[in-house]
Structure 1
């Protein structure tokens, strides 16, 4: 019976999606845009004056193509808008090519152009973004979208893992979305601290860009109390037929059109296979990984009818791992077998100045794990549905309101240690059999108002958890953008609540955070400066080392500064540093957090010449993180295992300083049939032993360390077929 109401939600959303798909006659206008010197202008915004549903931008050679319906030809105007140039207008003419359109430079730079075509209003929030090409060329990402975030100053991830940690927030409070829909198992290889084994569950070939909200994320992202990463799927045909080969496996990706005349009806697909055995043999390293293999496959199909867009996404992945792992005084093999299936439907229906968005997803996760006397089989079923309505009343006022529902069903069977400190095989364990479910609903309202150079927005979200009280979320943003668009000031404040669906105690606890952020950005084509001050107060079960009886408060003060120089057309240099004053309060006592950092320096040098080669070098330097040492042990004679006794002063000890230097070199080649590129990455060039984890001998009298990734050579090639 518990599925009865849920089935109604699913049926209701499915009917809405299907019922709005319709057909009408389409016409196409196209042409080229140049300046008066005859230079093509890219990224010129081209739109229909009285209907913002019809909009596009010019490509690298100034070409644009716009499909419009029959009604537009009756009395409408085509507008060409580009920063620093006078706006230019022409009547929409049927079956006519606008051969050459010349824009004149303006004495006054244009104000910010407002386009309200989707839920993304990233410029009004504390946000960073990475395009697909930036993800591929990042020297530490291994072409993975979540690993690429680590090079940004907003990332405070002190692990070499793909788990997002943004501006000091616990990874449990941040959330990954795909086309606005939450992904419940976003990272693979979570047991390992290296950027090769630990990666996202996404194929970069399908990702157009990712938007990262490090603090004060938009209120319309549900069940979030930390940061947000929203990955946007391709919305245009990529003409992609790619073969990828490397020392860890290979893959294929292909894009096919549904129509020869349109590039917005297409399907993207991919298949990847990963096996770390060749990499281990060549590098004679990664001794803690005995075995790791994974299979990934998926597709994304988009159908555009009139201005409505239907998007279908499905992915499947299976990973098997066998790792050497140490917990307390036990050092053994951790075996895992994970299977994850994710299915998403997006439907956007614009009409006039309005747009209705509906989303539906179903996900399944089966997690098998074995470690000593721990043996678990966990099955998760996730269902998500949402609906939102947006309207632009003018260039000054926009609103967005909506609703979402989430449901999780969990089944756990197996055995767990009877004594938390004893994972030794043969020591006592107890049976665990658990069946639980949880659902929540959220309603939000968002209002945005522009006045001259200022943009203000306010948002609220009501969270209702079944069987629990109602939680009120709020958010206030204020942005100032100078006339020349070079200076941006942003102030944000908000209170957020969420539930941890993957909590290890299976109680779906409520977490909350208060966040306040001030940012300043200066931008010119050759120089970009980004700075931020922020405060966060988080509450929840933020670290798996704490028992289920103790909630932890985390107080965060942070400051960051990033400077990026475009030294020439092909050369850029980026340098950033951050300060993180991070404290935790446990049982009314205050201690430093494990990630209390006086500095975290990141630098990135890039040289990119299409005819020669590309080289990227980055460098990370920070203090070691903190941990709570064992100061004594007591023998449990019943099982012949020592129980550790920790220092009363939490996070009293510190690992050594972390330092790594990474290099990526690539070279492209072309011929009539295909183009290909060869790349080579060398991680941790200095082969520095960066301590990652501490463990002990049987009676805790001797201390040992695990280490992050040693020096690793990684070689591969990508072949693009024409």
Structure 2
């Protein structure tokens, strides 16, 4: 095997104070775009030795002898390097393999999802925690990217004008149905099922998702859980609306196991925000689970993730025909297992996933009680025949079943408890088999090419379906600028109450161009796609522009986009609810001596709605019957929201630290219209609003 040069980017951020000097940095493999852990870093004069963590980060504190100093960097399989450290803030270091070592290279490749070669956006732990809009929630952080159509304030993600139900979430390549807590309706607390403490990386594919992922169609979020446990630790989280614990009782080298639990409650939060939460009588949520990673000396690897959850929620339901309480309860259980074996030029992986839930919600003459069970299993083989070539092939199976009973109004305009209703039940199911082959190859230093094929079989399909995908990436002039063009045809199953399980066929074409520098990055994206099902046909198109700037004590991002989408049900063509003609996102972070400040903002066009034509009184049913325009051709006033967060990290010792924070959502307390509602006789119209200003205070203790 050829001798391989690997560029390790080590970014040093010296922080000076009267008491001490500290150095922070990251270690990255630039070729594979992966952070390296367990890299040994030693300061000669200060006699300090540490290892980089799973995110490639390291930090030297209490430099009693100060700077300058010499840093020794070493990792097995690479040549050691001596780096003089003075006042430089950024240094780039070129290391070479000490000797040909195929297994060392395979270890690096096997730790990186194959799809990462063509990822649109990658989010790490700090991107989530320091985002004022995300509230430390991973899917809300995804929602704050320009590829997400910001049609509402929840973590239910619409990628580039598509139905949020078509956005798939994967944990360690295993599909997770219903990944959002229903308590998201309160716009408070964390919405994602997956706790931020367990997450290593999030990969975002708003278009042309990796074909090796099961049941993917328009867009996906690929989550990888932790693969490294540095030391036993305990984290406590206490705030106005939540208490939580994350405990790692045992860890050895990379192996470890963690337990977590959270409980959301409403009394304190309602006390401090009485007017903003007046429409929420109560809400609560409890979850607990486990995350573990084990690796043997002969390179067997096991990843486990378990989650149990109970939710209760109540809100004021307002309709011209009825006002009352909407009650919701849900229990669910998630289990994922990944077992892999690393060989000299390959890696085998077995995957198993389980999701089961029971739900009950009701208001007026409406009630819905579904029970669902999803089983997933798969086996794949990833090959590394050459330095620049990766192949992945495998088989996957998904079995989904829903047993539900529903009571719905006979007339969609009458929710009174005594009014006529329809009661029916069903137990639809679907079985889906997939065979896939995916290949990524670097044809030249400036050009990468990816090709994927998938064969899909299901009893609900009349015949086998073949889907395909092409990814290309060109590096222009240098490695700092590249363009990415992708095209795919994919098919996925989707559950709807109207038709039970349906199939959605999608075709997508996307183009991205990105330029990266040491302290700045800009990008432009454009796309077009179609989505066809037995219910309707949709098409979407648009563009996005992003720019980010990193300064010594601040970071700034801005994004501008336009997402257009239409739906055609065979009789009518109208704007999709997820169409956003224009939007502007901003995100800024400042680090000062006494506290850190994060501010995010969004300005977008208002939601579309169907105007009221007239209403007539029915003497038979003793209710007013409305008549609306067939098309949603009018929009509400523009949406503007600014969120802010002030935080402070206090290091009491090398093991103990505090993080205190004050978060203010909708700082301007702006009335952002969500929809139009009417009086009982439809003679008066009034707007319903998104969340008003919310004050949230809390702290985290880590030791």
Work out whether the TM-score is over 0.5: yes
Q: C-alpha deviations, 1:412-459, integer Å up to 9, x for none?
A: 235322223222111112322222322111111112221111001111
Q: How does 1:199-238 map to 2 (within 5 A)?
A: 199-238=191-230
Moved over 6 A (4+): 32-35, 38-41, 59-62
Given that residues 665 and 680 in structure 1 are in contact (C-alpha distance below 8 angstroms), is that contact kept between their aligned partners in structure 2?
A: yes
Q: How does 1:336-347 map to 2 (within 5 A)?
A: 336-347=328-339
2:121 to 128, 132, 135: 128
Q: Return closer, same or farther for 1:460/1:266 CA change in 2, 3 Å cut-off.
A: same
Matched, 1:569 2:552: yes
2:388 to 379, 384, 396: 396
Given that residues 126 and 519 in structure 1 are in contact (C-alpha distance below 8 angstroms), is that contact kept between their aligned partners in structure 2?
A: no
Structure 2 residue matching 1:254: 3-state secondary structure: strand
Given that residues 77 and 92 in structure 1 are in contact (C-alpha distance below 8 angstroms), is that contact kept between their aligned partners in structure 2?
A: no
1:614 to 596, 604, 610: 596
Looking at structure 1, the residues matched to 574 and 351 of structure 2 have their Cα atoms a distance apart, in angstroms, of 43
Matched, 1:412 2:404: yes
Q: How does 1:95-174 map to 2 (within 5 A)?
A: 115-118=108-111, 120-174=113-167
Give TM-score scaled by structure 2 length.
0.85
Deviation of 1:238 after TM superposition, in Å, equals 4.8
Given that residues 302 and 339 in structure 2 are in contact (C-alpha distance below 8 angstroms), is that contact kept between their aligned partners in structure 1?
A: yes
Looking at structure 2, the residues matched to 403 and 34 of structure 1 have their Cα atoms a distance apart, in angstroms, of 39
Give the corresponding residue for 2:98.
90
1:326 to 308, 313, 318: 318
Deviation of 1:117 after TM superposition, in Å, equals 0.4
Give the corresponding residue for 1:79.
78
Given that residues 399 and 432 in structure 2 are in contact (C-alpha distance below 8 angstroms), is that contact kept between their aligned partners in structure 1?
A: yes
Give the corresponding residue for 2:280.
289
Matched, 1:514 2:507: yes
Matched, 1:556 2:540: yes
Give TM-score scaled by structure 1 length.
0.83
Give the corresponding residue for 2:696.
714
Aligned CA-pair RMSD: 2.9
Give the corresponding residue for 2:685.
703
Give the corresponding residue for 2:340.
348
Given that residues 126 and 215 in structure 1 are in contact (C-alpha distance below 8 angstroms), is that contact kept between their aligned partners in structure 2?
A: no
Q: Return closer, same or farther for 1:41/1:362 CA change in 2, 3 Å cut-off.
A: closer
Looking at structure 1, the residues matched to 209 and 466 of structure 2 have their Cα atoms a distance apart, in angstroms, of 16
Query: Which is further off, 330-339 or 709-718?
Result: 330-339
Structure 1 residue matching 2:110: 3-state secondary structure: coil
Matched, 1:656 2:637: yes
Deviation of 1:155 after TM superposition, in Å, equals 1.4
2:568 to 570, 585, 609: 585
1:647 to 629, 639, 644: 629
Given that residues 27 and 52 in structure 2 are in contact (C-alpha distance below 8 angstroms), is that contact kept between their aligned partners in structure 1?
A: no
Given that residues 462 and 471 in structure 1 are in contact (C-alpha distance below 8 angstroms), is that contact kept between their aligned partners in structure 2?
A: yes
Deviation of 1:191 after TM superposition, in Å, equals 6.7
Looking at structure 1, the residues matched to 293 and 702 of structure 2 have their Cα atoms a distance apart, in angstroms, of 22
Q: C-alpha deviations, 1:327-356, integer Å up to 9, x for none?
A: 564332110001110011111111111111
Q: Return closer, same or farther for 1:687/1:425 CA change in 2, 3 Å cut-off.
A: same
Deviation of 1:81 after TM superposition, in Å, equals 10
Give the corresponding residue for 1:601.
584
Given that residues 644 and 700 in structure 1 are in contact (C-alpha distance below 8 angstroms), is that contact kept between their aligned partners in structure 2?
A: yes
Looking at structure 1, the residues matched to 134 and 517 of structure 2 have their Cα atoms a distance apart, in angstroms, of 27
Q: Return closer, same or farther for 1:523/1:60 CA change in 2, 3 Å cut-off.
A: farther
Looking at structure 2, the residues matched to 679 and 439 of structure 1 have their Cα atoms a distance apart, in angstroms, of 47
1:473 to 464, 467, 482: 467
Looking at structure 1, the residues matched to 599 and 41 of structure 2 have their Cα atoms a distance apart, in angstroms, of 27
Looking at structure 1, the residues matched to 142 and 184 of structure 2 have their Cα atoms a distance apart, in angstroms, of 19
Looking at structure 2, the residues matched to 439 and 466 of structure 1 have their Cα atoms a distance apart, in angstroms, of 7
Q: How does 1:489-504 map to 2 (within 5 A)?
A: 489-501=483-495, 503-504=496-497
Deviation of 1:664 after TM superposition, in Å, equals 0.5
Give the corresponding residue for 2:651.
670
Given that residues 137 and 190 in structure 2 are in contact (C-alpha distance below 8 angstroms), is that contact kept between their aligned partners in structure 1?
A: no
Q: C-alpha deviations, 1:42-73, integer Å up to 9, x for none?
A: 415599xxxxxxx856377685599xxxxxxx
Structure 2 residue matching 1:216: 3-state secondary structure: coil
Q: C-alpha deviations, 1:120-176, integer Å up to 9, x for none?
A: 134432421111122112101111101112221111131100101112221011101
Looking at structure 2, the residues matched to 317 and 393 of structure 1 have their Cα atoms a distance apart, in angstroms, of 43
Q: Return closer, same or farther for 1:594/1:467 CA change in 2, 3 Å cut-off.
A: closer
Given that residues 258 and 292 in structure 2 are in contact (C-alpha distance below 8 angstroms), is that contact kept between their aligned partners in structure 1?
A: yes
Q: Return closer, same or farther for 1:518/1:431 CA change in 2, 3 Å cut-off.
A: same
1:451 to 436, 443, 446: 443
Given that residues 243 and 252 in structure 1 are in contact (C-alpha distance below 8 angstroms), is that contact kept between their aligned partners in structure 2?
A: yes
Structure 2 residue matching 1:134: 3-state secondary structure: helix
Matched, 1:426 2:418: yes
Deviation of 1:517 after TM superposition, in Å, equals 0.5
Structure 1: gaps of 5 or more residues? 1-31, 48-54, 67-75, 94-111, 541-549
Structure 2: gaps of 5 or more residues? 1-7, 15-22, 43-48, 54-74, 82-90
2:615 to 633, 636, 639: 633
In the alignment of these two chains, the number of paired residues is 637
Give the corresponding residue for 1:358.
350
Deviation of 1:90 after TM superposition, in Å, equals 3.1
Deviation of 1:596 after TM superposition, in Å, equals 3.3
Q: Return closer, same or farther for 1:126/1:167 CA change in 2, 3 Å cut-off.
A: farther
Looking at structure 2, the residues matched to 587 and 654 of structure 1 have their Cα atoms a distance apart, in angstroms, of 23
Looking at structure 1, the residues matched to 650 and 570 of structure 2 have their Cα atoms a distance apart, in angstroms, of 62
Q: How does 1:24-35 map to 2 (within 5 A)?
A: none
Looking at structure 1, the residues matched to 692 and 10 of structure 2 have their Cα atoms a distance apart, in angstroms, of 51
Deviation of 1:705 after TM superposition, in Å, equals 1.9
Deviation of 1:634 after TM superposition, in Å, equals 4.0
Q: Return closer, same or farther for 1:304/1:323 CA change in 2, 3 Å cut-off.
A: same
Looking at structure 2, the residues matched to 190 and 580 of structure 1 have their Cα atoms a distance apart, in angstroms, of 27
Matched, 1:299 2:290: yes
Looking at structure 1, the residues matched to 203 and 426 of structure 2 have their Cα atoms a distance apart, in angstroms, of 37
Deviation of 1:631 after TM superposition, in Å, equals 1.3
Structure 2 residue matching 1:146: 3-state secondary structure: helix
Matched, 1:243 2:236: yes
Q: Return closer, same or farther for 1:79/1:484 CA change in 2, 3 Å cut-off.
A: farther
